[in-house]
Amino acid sequence: MLSNIILFAATASALALPPLEVNLEALLNTPITIIRDDPSDSTISTHKYSQQPIHASDDDDDDDDSPLPVILWHGLGDASNADGLRDTASLLEETHPGTYVHLISATTSPSDRSASFFGNVTEQIDLVCETLQRDPILSTAPAVDAVGFSQGGQFLRGYIERCNNPPVRSLITFGSQHNGISAFEKCKSATDLVCHAANALLKSSTVWSHYVQSHVVPAQYYRDSEDYENYLNYSNFLADINNERPVKNATYKKNLASLRNFVMVMFEDDATVIPKESGWFSQVNMTSGEVVGVRNRTIYEEDWIGLKKLDEGGNLKFEKVRGEHMQLREKDLKRLFGEYFGPLGGKDAGRKVEKVNKVYGVEEMKSDL
Ligand SMILES: *[C@@H]1O[C@H](CO)[C@@H](O)[C@H](O)[C@H]1NC(C)=O
Ligand SMILES: *[C@@H]1O[C@H](CO)[C@@H](O)[C@H](O)[C@H]1NC(C)=O
Ligand SMILES: *[C@@H]1O[C@H](CO)[C@@H](O)[C@H](O)[C@H]1NC(C)=O
Ligand SMILES: *[C@@H]1O[C@H](CO)[C@@H](O)[C@H](O)[C@H]1NC(C)=O
Ligand SMILES: *[C@@H]1O[C@H](CO)[C@@H](O)[C@H](O)[C@H]1NC(C)=O
């Protein structure tokens, strides 16, 4: 069962590299970078973020005007105390002053970076569910909005489907792997043995072992349509929350369909996530390169998780932004946060569909679906 891990370790030791854990961490490091509108403008970094609501109690009788709190789940190799996350929190606050931002940590230990690589995602989501329920502000808010960066996007979807308490109004995911990954990463060269060994781990049956499925986080959203039966039998996370198994969980569908908006953002030049179209729930045949958009897939047609219901109500959004994985532009973030977040019942939260489609060219998007 563990032959590939041993092979991996052997490769690593022949190269005098640190063990598997350390190698994966070095390989899969994709922290957020926010590209500011004007590089000489330093307002974001000097705008200090604190997890405090600005108007805590001074306008109690004017609740309609206070923005909903935002929960934010970071990606692989990032940490909830990283600069990119704090900058994002600052942008949320600039877009909707007074926003209470909660940076999710999937572990109780002080540094949560390693929990983005290692652990059982089911247990991580359970922990996040308990933590949010104990937060005095989040648990008393009528609802929250949610931002998921990379794998944090599908984990928040898991939170919504399984727990959703406090309930999420709108979810925005950036470069997430809703339909899984078929490799860890595109290797930069034929001689990058660490990268090739890590990808080989996914391609071997070892990926379906109990050990890997309960410890290696990305393995829990590995999905290869050429190896679909094993995926259905052994995937610890993705096959379940995508309701791909014969017995469907009706709660998952009900909860996801209850979102006001589910906004899936794909990075146009994403060379990290394989395939990047996973960010839009598309299915890619890695041999032929054929892309089947979500609207042509059974998960949508039979509406296993509520995507069709959302779409028919105009609440499933396909957004594309320029740039490589997690290279976020300030103006894109501000536009999306402005568009979909803010006060409960706010007139802006999700009604400007026409404008969005114009900016991004709806014809171009449709042809990709
Ligand atoms: C469906 O998911 C909910 C929420 O996680 C859980 O409580 C319930 O037991 C699940 N139902 C089935 C049939 O698995
Ligand atoms: C992950 O954790 C859940 C909940 O404790 C458990 O039911 C499941 O078997 C675990 N998965 C694996 C692959 O160990
Ligand atoms: C998957 O599970 C089914 C039902 O338990 C079993 O018949 C089948 O052999 C399994 N397939 C693999 C590849 O393990
Ligand atoms: C992917 O494409 C190849 C080549 O066209 C084909 O042989 C294979 O069956 C396809 N895989 C799936 C899962 O459709
Ligand atoms: C997807 O569905 C549309 C309409 O149902 C159809 O016109 C299109 O050819 C389909 N695309 C694929 C790749 O199956």
Ligand 4 atom 11 nearest Cα: 285
Q: Mean pLDDT, the chain, as a whole number?
A: 81
Query: Residue 92 burial (CB < 10 Å; 0-12/13-18/19+)?
Result: buried
Is residue 275 reached through a cis peptide bond, with omega within 30 degrees of 0 on the bond before it?
Answer: yes
| 189 or 17, higher pLDDT | 189
Residues tagged active-site: 150, 270, 325
- The pLDDT score that the predictor gives to residue 27 is 56
For the stretch 210-251, pLDDT in tens is: 988 998 899 999 999 889 999 999 999 999 999 999 999 999
Burial classification of residue 51, based on how many CB atoms lie within 10 Å of its CB (0-12 exposed, 13-18 middle, 19 or more buried): exposed
Distance 142 CA to ligand 1 centre (A): 23
Q: Which residues have C-beta atoms less than 6 Å from ligand 5? A: 292, 296
Q: Whose CA is nearest to atom 9 of ligand 5?
A: 296
Residue minimizing CA distance to atom 1 of ligand 1 = 249
Instruction: Work out which ligand 3 atom sits closest to the CA atom of 232.
Output: 1
Contact (Cβ atoms closer than 8 angstroms) between residue 66 and residue 98: yes
C-alpha of residue 214 to centroid of ligand 5, in Å: 37
Q: What is the CA radius of gyration of the chain?
A: 20
In degrees and rounded to multiples of 5, residue 107 shows phi and psi of -145, 160
pLDDT above 90 for 49: no
Domains of the chain, first to last: 31-49+64-182+223-368 (3.40.50.1820)
pLDDT band at residue 24 under the 50/70/90 scheme: low
Top pLDDT among 13 and 117 is at 117
Q: Does the Cβ of 358 fall within 6 Å of ligand 2?
A: no
User: Residue 183 has what DSSP assignment?
Assistant: B
Tokens 């990808």 locate to: 199
| 229 close to ligand 3 (CB < 6 Angstrom) | yes
Q: Residue with the nearest Cα to atom 13 of ligand 1?
A: 249
| Residue 162 Cβ < 6 Å to ligand 1 | yes
Please give the model's pTM, rounded to 2 decimal places: 0.84
Any atom of ligand 4 within 6 Å of the Cβ of 287? yes
Residue 112 has pLDDT above 90, yes or no: no
The pLDDT of residue 18 is above 70? no
What are the structure tokens assigned to 349, written together?
């939260």
Q: For residue 238, what pLDDT is reported?
A: 98
Instruction: Say how many Å lie between the CA of residue 231 and the centre of ligand 3.
Output: 10
Nearest CA to ligand 4 atom 1: 285
Asked if residue 220 has its Cβ within 6 Å of ligand 2, the reply is no
**Looking at the predicted structure, is the pLDDT value of residue 2 above 70?**
no
